Amino acid sequence: MAVSMEEVARLCKARGFVYPSAEIYGGFRSTYDYGPLGVLMLRNVKEAWWRSMVQLRQEVVGLDAAILSSPRIWEASGHLANFTDPLVDCRRCKQRWRWDQLPGAEDGHPSCPNCGASDFTEARPFNLMFKTFVGPVEDEGSVAYLRPETAQGHFVNFANVLQTEHLRPPFGIAQMGKSFRNEITPGNFVFRTREFEQMELEYFVPPDEADRWLEYWCNERLEWYVRLGIPREMLRLRAHTPEELSHYSSGTFDVEFAFPWGWGELEGIANRTDYDLKAHAKASGQVLEFSDPATGERYVPYVIEPAAGATRTMMAFIIAAYSSDEVGGEPRTVLRLHPRLAPYQVAVLPLSKKDVLVPVAKEVLQLLQPVAMCDYDDTRSIGRRYRRQDEIGTPLCVTVDFATLQDRAVTIRDRDTTEQVRVPIDELVEAVSARLSW
Ligand code: GAP
């Protein structure tokens, strides 16, 4: 049976993945904090993305642009004018909603989720960018915006990157980090929040190759989710309708995931054409084009953009990995996370807290720490400790028992099969590395 969002949120809080933010003050409007396990897993999600997008490619380089930057960027990019959602007020209860997300909106019969009325004000555009002031004076001249996408940093640094990297299309600039949107209706746990993390590649291609690269990136990105453990049947590619397209896109496909409430977007893969480079060239007066030193050919590349959400994707990986079964007649919850994504890859568990086991358990921990993120737990019964590690998705437990003192061997327990094998400490690093099979 599919897991509910309530259960995912419960597990995330109970086990230290994600906490409601400012909970001691009653929470703060759909914002969340990432706890000890959440930071590990989110890093792993981003690391897996970086590895596949940058590390394993020769033609992609990284970037980390400022979150707060010139408002001229957002004026030129069209976000000031166009990055809006349709806002309506319910005339009966005065609540505000995003028009296209009201129940029944798709059939033309929307109703208020709060009071059920169908009497709304005319929809008006609401800009999603957070506005702030830079410096000590709060006037029009000091207005700045928190970036609503990591993209744009890639475009405004296009000439800088080309100058230092000697790249020629097709090539990419990758960036991950925080983005901010003043969403009208955040919700579904970390699916839609006002502060979130994105992982975005801007891939610059010759204009006549754009269609081919759009198809290439749709396939690549779909495969990435599958390789990291999401069953293929929980994913689909969906083309945007012309009405859905962003102001910069000539064609977009969403990678969608089967969330407990239905299909939802994990990533958008768009053909941004030469929209952004041309817009910034015009607004800044700078030349933003590729010039081929061999042929003298000059042109403005098209951009294919796979844009994924890191926080949203982390939740999808947890949902896809969530399962329940029975071990020895006892029910258990197990997160069958890919070892690359699991917060801990190994837990070192001395069978008892007795002093005689501690030195050898610590020795085992120190052996494994350089090759894997390790947890160390010597509290409670071994059964309860196994159950905790299953629930947080740790692929391997290494148990140190009293026999270890005689035979210098430990037990490796596999999360998915619960099978146990005895391995000499001298061969442990090799045995663990082979099982995690990066
Ligand atoms: N640069 C293009 C862009 O930002 P997007 O489809 O608006 O495209 C890309 O965003 C991804 O960022 C989405 O597929 C989603 O995973 C994530 N995302 C967008 N808004 C979000 C929000 N409010 N909360 C969490 N994740 C969000």
67-104 pLDDT, tens digit each: 999 999 999 999 999 999 999 999 999 999 999 999 99
d(CA 299, CA 285): 16
The pTM is what?
0.96
Ligand 1 neighbour 202 (Cβ under 6 A): no
d(CA 47, CA 224): 13
Going from the C-alpha of 307 to that of each of 64, 197, 202, the distances in angstroms are: 15, 11, 8
Q: What does the mean pLDDT of the chain come to?
A: 96
Query: Residue 106: pLDDT band by 50, 70, 90 thresholds?
Result: confident
Residue type, position 339, single letter: P
Ligand 1 neighbour 200 (Cβ under 6 A): yes
- Which helix (H) or strand (E) covers residue 308, if one does? strand 302-309
Ligand 1 neighbour 307 (Cβ under 6 A): yes
Q: How far is the CA of 265 from the centre of ligand 1 (A)?
A: 8
Ligand 1 neighbour 148 (Cβ under 6 A): no
Query: Residue 437: pLDDT band by 50, 70, 90 thresholds?
Result: confident
Contacts of 304 (CB under 8 A, 6+ apart): 203, 205, 210, 213, 214, 217, 269, 270, 271, 272
pLDDT at 2: 80
Contacts of 131 (CB under 8 A, 6+ apart): 143, 144, 145
Going from the C-alpha of 404 to that of each of 351, 427, 432, the distances in angstroms are: 10, 14, 17
Check pLDDT > 90 for residue 227: yes
Check pLDDT > 80 for residue 297: yes
Q: Tokens 């084009």 — which residue?
A: 289
Going from the C-alpha of 67 to that of each of 11, 177, 180, 208, the distances in angstroms are: 32, 9, 9, 33
Give per-residue pLDDT as tens, 165-194.
Answer: 989 999 999 999 999 999 999 999 999 999
Q: What are phi and psi of 410, to 5 degrees?
A: -130, 170
Check pLDDT > 80 for residue 259: yes
